[in-house]
Structure 1
Amino acid sequence: MSRLRRVALGVCAIVCAAGAGPAAAARYVVAIEQMRFDPPSVTVHAGDSVVWVNKDLVAHTVTAEAKTFDSGSIAPGASWRYVASKRGRHAYSCQFHPVMHGTLIVVPGP
């Protein structure tokens, strides 16, 4: 075995033993369709992103009741992305259609 290969394997062993580092942030998708959020509740880690995709024929918003986040108007066929940062339970709704409700639950990162 060449010296370079032994060094590379040694480095790999050290890195693997120490762990691969912080876990990559995850991405979650919430569909907006038939006048509802699907799924209606999503649990994510701080640092993960959530993308709301509007599959309806009308515009919608994703507006947190506590004003933590607000997408503004999301046109039909468009999407909006939010990186979860504030831990806790965040109820949200569509400002245009108050019967539409969802919950974003943000837990500490891994």
Structure 2
Amino acid sequence: MIRKRSLGALCGLTLMLTAPSAWAETIRVTIEKLVFSPAEISAAVGDVIEWDNRDVMAHTATAKGDFDIVIPPKKTATLTVTKAGTFDYICRFHPNMKARLKVQ
């Protein structure tokens, strides 16, 4: 009887350790010297994108029709990804700042 319980507990532990995680990931993008870094990121639906603006001016992460996040100077801002696709985004204030978000 003890042996069956131990085996059951071991199997349960094995399943817990090998099962995929249901936790969302936080993907960080740094903004510094008018550049998104990295310029291309991949995420899954439910993940959080966090932009860390290290510049002394405000920026945005804007994908026309999909999201428009304002990131104040020396602050962070986040977006929870809600749909799959490829999203090219820019800073509305500095349109030469470009990046891409790929969501599976």
Q: How does 1:1-110 map to 2 (within 5 A)?
A: 7=5, 10-14=8-12, 16-17=14-15, 19-20=18-19, 22-65=21-64, 67-72=65-70, 74-107=71-104
Aligned partner of 1:49: which letter?
A: V
Q: How many angstroms apart in 2 are the aligned matches of 1:21 and 1:105?
A: 21
**TM-score, L = length of structure 1:** 0.79
Task: Note the alpha carbon deviations across 1:30-49, whole angstroms, 9 max, x for none.
Answer: 00111010000101111111
Aligned partner of 1:99: which letter?
A: N
Q: How many angstroms apart in 2 are the aligned matches of 1:11 and 1:21?
A: 19
Q: What is the identity percentage for the equivalent residue pairs of Structure 1 and Structure 2?
A: 34
Which is richer in strand? 2
Aligned partner of 1:56: which letter?
A: D
Moved over 6 A (4+): none
Residue aligned with 1:99, SS: coil
Question: Which residues of structure 1 form unaligned runs of 5+?
Answer: none
1:31–1:54 contact (8 Å) kept in structure 2: yes
Aligned partner of 1:95: which letter?
A: R
**TM-score, L = length of structure 2:** 0.84
Q: How many angstroms apart in 2 are the aligned matches of 1:70 and 1:30?
A: 15
1:85–1:106 contact (8 Å) kept in structure 2: no
